[in-house]
Amino acid sequence: MEDLYLGWIEQMKKGIEKWGNIVLEMKPRLIIISGMGGSGVVGDYILALSYNRSDALPVIVVKNYRLPMYVNEKDLVFIISYSGNTLETRHAFYEALKKNAEVVAITSNGVLAKEVKEKNIPLIMITPGLVPRTALPEMLYAVLGVLDTSGIHIVSKGEAEQALSFIEDEIKNIIEEAYSIATFIHKQGGNLVIATHTPLEVLALRGKNEFNENAKIPVKVEVIPEWAHNDIVGWENPYTGRWTILTIVNNDDQIDLKLIEFMESIYREHDFPVRRIELRGTSLLEKLLYGSLLLGLASIKLARIRGLDPLQTKSIIKYKSFINTVLQPR
């Protein structure tokens, strides 16, 4: 699967080529992003990228088969399912239609593509044949492109192009650091904690998901400053167990850096091994893509070290068989 992650550069190029293919005339009240798993996490990235934009609209991320009751015809709903067959997302799609919301769909194929085309709804087709969790850049750029050309400026096309050039320049360093991180985690052998500060919680979540699916390990996410009001106390008297800590920091903000240093001091008081990831890049988009690719490759490399197949997800297959018996999109 390494080749799928290393294909991110081509995905970003395709996303830039499609930038502006869909232009919406509406000025929405809210942006709703609906999806599950590797598709749903796109919403978390949009939310993070909008965090420091004073002109951004409220972003609601939905990882459920139901949309919030308050969604209406004034809202823009992105329906994202890489496979096009995700039952929860298809169910949310029909809810969006019933609420008369403006809908844009993003998929590579499947039932969703067929249904969207039949209803003449704006559709962005993503490169087929990928694994959903590895298709992040193209799906992310698809949403950003629609927003930008429709007058909702979270990331500009120029910023997206700069991020592409940055990842091209950094790819060798990312590969080397990913192997080092995987080796560190395996050598320590403890339960993994990924700790960071706001608004980088999306990277901790993405990292958790990557290590869950690819390396088959559970991961705990901790985010300061909220961490300092609950999680920190949990380390005072835990049950016995080994823990390994990855911290993620944006060094550009001195307050955030000091917060991470405080977190690391608490972990070290308990003799937990700590490895810091310092994000590179100029813009938040560059930093998020850098961290995402780094964590994705590290999870793949950890799976290889452990002798596991990163592609195989038996438990998800089991869940999909179950959900087919209880949920019917309508």
Q: What is the DSSP letter of 146?
A: H
Q: Are residues 147 and 25 in the same domain?
A: yes
- Can you point out the beta strands (E) in the chain? 31-34, 59-62, 76-81, 102-107, 123-125, 191-197, 219-224, 243-249, 274-278
- 3-state DSSP call for residue 34? strand
**Is position 320 within any domain?**
no
Residue numbers of the domain that contains 236: 159-305
CB 21 within 8 Å of CB 124 = yes
- Name the 3-class secondary structure at 269: helix
Same domain, 34 and 143: yes
Instruction: Indicate whether 72 and 140 sit together in one domain.
Output: yes
Q: Are residues 252 and 209 in the same domain?
A: yes
Classify residue 62: in a domain, yes or no.
yes
* 258 shares a domain with 130: no
CA 258 vs CA 116, 180, 234, 276, 290: distances in Å: 48, 25, 21, 13, 22
Contacts by 154-162, CB closer than 8 A, 24 or more apart: 154/46, 154/49, 154/50, 154/53, 154/56, 155/49, 155/285, 157/16, 157/19, 157/20, 159/283, 159/285, 160/12, 160/15, 160/16, 160/19, 160/285, 161/16, 162/282, 162/283, 162/286
Same-domain status, 101 and 176: no
Residue 330 is predicted with a pLDDT of 72
Amino acid 67: pLDDT: 98
Q: Are residues 31 and 83 in the same domain?
A: yes
Is residue 138 within 8 A of residue 14, CB to CB? The reply is yes
The whole-number pLDDT of residue 42 equals 99
13 with 121, same domain: the answer is yes
| CATH number of the structural domain spanning residue 200 | 3.40.50.10490
* pTM summary value: 0.96
In a domain, 271, yes or no: yes
Alpha helices by DSSP H, listed for 76-200, are: 87-98, 110-118, 136-149, 157-188
Q: Is 166 in the same domain as 265?
A: yes
One domain for residues 50 and 86: yes
Are 131 and 15 contained in the same domain? yes
Question: How many Å apart are CA 304 and CA 327, to the nearest integer?
Answer: 36
Structure tokens at 311: 């592609």
> Rounded distance, CA 262 to CA 199, Å?
17
SS3 80: strand
Distance CA 268, CA 277 (A): 16
Is 15 contained in some domain?
A: yes
| 42 inside domain | yes
Domain boundary among 155, 182, 212: 155
| Residue 167 exposure: Cα atoms within 13 Å on the Cβ side | 26
**pLDDT under 50 in the chain at which residues?**
none
Q: Domain count of the chain?
A: 2
Identify the pLDDT of residue 29. Answer: 97
Angle, helices 284-305/37-50, rounded to nearest 10 degrees: 150
Q: Are residues 150 and 266 in the same domain?
A: no
